[in-house]
Amino acid sequence: MLSDAVMRKLKHKNVQLDEELREKKRQMEDIVRNVTSWKKSIKDRQTTKLQQLEMALKSKVHQERERGLRHKMRLIRSVAKRYRMLSKMACLHHWHQRVQIAKAKGQKADAEGRFSSSEQMVAFLKEQLAATGKAHADPEGHASAAELHKVNCLLIGLLSQIPPG
């Protein structure tokens, strides 16, 4: 059969091939580990990116909701402010009208007081005219220029007798 030398060479070759096979298996296992870790890292990065995108989208949605709520609140505040201004203006208008009415009543009362005092003055002057005997001769109330001049002089004399104050 085969000689011992050939057998040794074959065994030695077999051992070398076994070692090379083990080495290749280790290298393959390392490559598989590297590939799986690479896949995991890619998957982790993608997952992280997806999570970041999801968080960014949620943040944007939240910001949009907040912006919408802030806008609604601004609108509500402006409407309330306008309503307050209108109601305040209505209230001021009401009180302004009341003040105007009170002023008008005061002016009316003042005018009535002046009217009554002028009526008293006319009555007093009529009494003075009657006392002096210079009553109107004209029943219709028309006086001549001479009578008007006399009455005017009499009134000036009476008014000068009234003390000032």
User: Mean pLDDT per 10-residue run, the chain (165 residues)?
Assistant: 83 93 94 90 87 91 89 89 85 86 85 74 78 60 74 79 65
Q: How far is CA 120 from the centre of its chain?
A: 61
How do the domains of the chain map onto residue ranges? 14-110
Residue-level pLDDT at 151:
82
Residue-level pLDDT at 27:
94
Rounded CA gap, 49 and 69, in Å? 30
Residue-level pLDDT at 14:
93
Rounded CA gap, 63 and 58, in Å? 8
The DSSP call for residue 54 is H
Is residue 147 within 8 Å of residue 132, measured between CB atoms?
no
Residue-level pLDDT at 34:
92
Rounded CA gap, 53 and 31, in Å? 32
Phi and psi based region of residue 157 (left: phi greater than 0; alpha: psi -120 to 50; beta: remaining): alpha
- Using a cut of 0.85, tell me whether the model's pTM lies above it: no
**In which residue are the tokens 């009180």 written?**
95
Is residue 109 within 8 Å of residue 117, measured between CB atoms?
no
